[in-house]
Amino acid sequence: MGKPTGFKEFQRQTIPYRDPQARLTDYQEIYTTPPESHLTTQGARCMDCGVPFCQSTTGCPVDNLIPEWNDLVYRGRWKDALDRLHRTNNFPEFTGRVCPAPCEGSCVLGINEPPVTIKNIENSIIDRGFNEDWVQARPPSTETGYTVAIIGSGPAGITAAQQLRRIGHTVTVYERADRIGGLLMYGIPNMKLEKKVVERRIDQLRAEGVAFITNAHIGKPEDFPTGHINQIMTDNNHEITFIDPNELVKNNDAVLWATGATKPRDLPIPGRGLNGIYSAMDFLTRNTKSLLDSNHENGQFISAKDKNVIVIGGGDTGTDCIGTSLRHGCKTLVNFELLPEPPQTRADNNPWPQWPKIFRVDYGHEEATKRDDKDPREYCILSKEFIDDGEGNLAGVRTVNVEWTQDENGRFTMTEVPGSEKEWKAELITLAMGFLGPEATATDMINIDYDNRSNIKAEYGQFTTNVEGVFAAGDCRRGQSLVVWAINEGRGAARAIDQYLQDNKMN
C-alpha cells in the first residue's frame, strides 16, 4: 500500500491543533488544515502489512477499509478514497474528530514505530468531500411501505435512520432535545465538534427523506426528568410532546431504541447536595445550548468564570470540562484521577495490538498547561467530602491519596494513604465519572427486559428485545462506549430491522 518504502522514509507527523492561546479565546474547532503534501506523505507510511490489524476486532469497529483509502490518498485519488470511506462509515467526520482511534493502536507499524496517522487522514478525506460537494443525498428509488420509529438522534439513531431510509423504509426519528444530534449536538463541545458539521449531515438525512421530531419525550408527563439538562431543553417556549411508547410500537412496523446511556455516575459522599456540584453532561450541555442560542448572552449556562474549578474524572468528558472551564475564564483548575498516572510506553501486560494504555495529552490538558504552566491532573486522588461554605454552597472538597496494589490473581485493590488528607478550594465541581446505563421510564412502560448492567437486553448482531418489533442499539444496549461503536451498532441494527421487515413481508 502507498509507497512500499514510505514507512522507512517518513516519520509520523500529526496535524497540529490551533495554538492553545488563540483557541482559548473562542469556541471554534481546534483543528487546522494541512497541505495536501502532508497527507500524501503520511498516507505513504501505510505498510503492505499483509494482515491489517487496523481493521481487526481490536482496531476499527466499523471495519474501515483503512489501507485502501490510505493508498488512494497517497495517489491523489481523493474522491475514490471518500467512496471507500463511506462504504463502512456513515459519518467519518464524527469519528475523525472525536474517536480515540483504536485503529492506530492496532496499526502494524505501531509494533516498533509510531503508527500511521489514520484519524487525521480520515478526517481530511471527508472534509474535502464536503468542500468539493462530493457528499450528496441519496434518497431511495422505491418505497417499501414499512414504517420505522427511532427513539434518539445520537450517532446510533441517525446511522440506523440513514441505512433504513436508503433501503426505502419510512423513518421517523424522535428526539427530546430541541436540536437533532444527541451526544453529537450537546454532549461534545463545539471546539471539538463544530455543530455545523453535525447539522450538514442532518440536512443530508432530511433530503433523503428521514423525518425528525424534536421536543418529543417518549413516556408519561410525570416521568419527565426534572434535572437541569431537560429544564433547559424546554425554554424559549418550546412545547414538549409526550408520546406513549406503546403507541409507537402499535403504529409502526418496527421501533429502534437508541437513547444512549444517559444516567451519570454520581459521587454520593457527604455534601453532595451543595450548590456548585454538577454532572459533566449537565455542565457541557447547558454551555453548548447557550452558545448556540445566544453566544452565551442569555446567561443560561453554568459559568466557571473566576471560580476555582475541580473536574473529578478523566477521559474525553473530563477533558471537555477542562477545555470549557478554561474558555469561561476559571481562576484555577484541577483534574482528579482515581487511578495512577499511565506509563509513557506500553506496559508488559498491555501488548500490541491492544489499545495502548499510555500517558496522553489531550487538547484540554495542553490548554491548561499553556495557561497555568502545569498539567491539571492529580492522580490517585479519592474524594471524601464536599465542603459547605455555611450557606449551602460548595467551598471545596476533602480528599485522600490512594495506593493501588495487585494480588497474585492480577486483581487490583485500592488502599488509602494515612496522613495524606487534603482540602482543595472549589466553587465549581463537575463529575465526569462515566455513565451507568439508559433511563428506564419509557422502556418500563413496554416491559422491556434488561441485562445485569441495567442496559436494554438485546443480543449483539440481532439487536432484538423481548418485545416483538422492538430493537435496541448503541450505548443503551452495550453501555457507555465510543461514537464509532454507536455507528457500528446503528448499521447492524438497520440490517436486523430490514431483515425482520422482509421476513414479515414474506409471511
Distance between CA atoms of 396 and 312, rounded to whole angstroms? 12
Count of H helices and E strands in the chain? 18, 18
190-201 pLDDT tens trace:
999 999 999 999
Count CA within 13 A, CB hemisphere, residue 140. Answer: 17
Contacts of 383 (CB under 8 A, 6+ apart): 267, 269, 312, 336, 397, 398, 399
Decide if pLDDT at 242 tops 70: yes
Mean pLDDT on 132-153: 97
Helix (H, G, I), strand (E, B) or coil at 355: coil
Structure confidence at residue 505 as a pLDDT band (50, 70, 90): low
How confident is the model over 233-258, as a mean pLDDT? 83
User: Across-strand partners of 173?
Assistant: 150, 212
On the question of pLDDT at 224 being above 90, the answer is no
pTM, entire model: 0.95
Portion of the chain with pLDDT greater than 70, in percent: 96
Q: Which domains does the chain have, with CATH numbers?
A: 6-131 (1.10.1060.10), 147-263+437-506 (3.50.50.60), 266-431 (3.50.50.60)
Phi, psi (rounded to 5 degrees) for 191: -70, -20
What pLDDT does 230 receive? 41
- Say if CB 490 and CB 460 are below 8 A apart: no
What are the C-alpha distances in Å from 80 to residues 65, 85, 322, 406, 503?
12, 9, 39, 50, 35
pLDDT in tens, 370-408: 999 999 999 999 999 999 999 999 999 999 999 999 888
The SS3 call for residue 442 is: helix
C-beta contacts of 19-25 below 8 A and 24+ residues apart:
20/366, 20/367, 20/370, 20/371, 21/370, 21/371, 23/191, 23/367, 24/326, 24/327, 24/367, 24/370, 24/371, 25/327
- Within a 10 A sphere around the Cβ of 74, how many other Cβ atoms? 22
Q: Report the pLDDT value the prediction gives residue 222, as an integer from 0 to 100.
A: 67
Residue with cell 448556540: 292
CA 38 – CA 292 distance, rounded (Å): 34
pLDDT band at 308; cut points 50, 70, 90: very high
